[in-house]
């Protein structure tokens, strides 16, 4: 989670630079060029933040499966014995989130929405307007919630 904060701090520095250049541009054309650079910067930092979150989710899934496989009662651990790291790797991102939290939780919808944005970016669509600060805040909160869910299970 600290990586999210550090990445966001770097984003703020770069966004302030681009914003200053955009504001001080002498022509509409140059101003527009800086605005496009800011949009690309937003997209890049969104992708970096979300990739860190995906890595965190992968680690939590491994931790959860390990916990469940080591439960004392066979009835509690039997279905978890079918899951190994290769099985978890084959799950798509939203399935991993469902493994970790209730699909009805508001944060599931938020994170799933970000997953769809990242998929569109992965396929070349960089036209989205992204609030990197809101994304960082949401992902930070999701990390806290997911950690609690894994510990509680």
Condensed to tens digits (0 to 9), the pLDDT of residues 32-59 reads 999 999 999 999 999 999 999 999 999 9
Q: What is the pLDDT of residue 1?
A: 67
Note the pTM of the prediction, 2 decimals.
0.88
Domain of 116, in residue numbers: 2-152
d(CA 100, CA 108): 10
- The domain tally of the chain equals 1
Mean pLDDT of the chain: 91
Q: Is 132 left (phi over 0), alpha (psi -120 to 50) or beta?
A: alpha
Region 88-102 average pLDDT: 91
Q: What is the pLDDT of residue 30?
A: 97
């Amino acid at each position: 989670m600290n990586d999210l904060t550090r990445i966001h701090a770097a984003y703020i520095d770069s966004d302030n630079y681009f914003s200053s250049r955009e504001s001080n541009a002498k022509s509409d054309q140059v101003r527009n060029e800086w605005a496009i650079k800011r949009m690309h910067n937003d997209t890049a930092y969104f992708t970096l933040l979300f990739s860190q979150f995906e890595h965190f989710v992968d680690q939590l899934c491994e931790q959860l499966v390990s916990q469940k496989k080591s439960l004392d009662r066979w009835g509690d651990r039997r279905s978890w014995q079918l899951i190994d790291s290769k099985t978890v790797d084959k799950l798509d991102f939203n399935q991993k989130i469902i493994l970790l939290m209730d699909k009805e939780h508001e944060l599931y919808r938020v994170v799933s929405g970000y997953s769809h944005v990242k998929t569109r970016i992965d396929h070349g669509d960089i036209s989205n307007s992204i609030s990197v600060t809101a994304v960082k805040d949401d992902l930070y909160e999701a990390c806290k919630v997911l950690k609690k869910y894994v510990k509680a299970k």
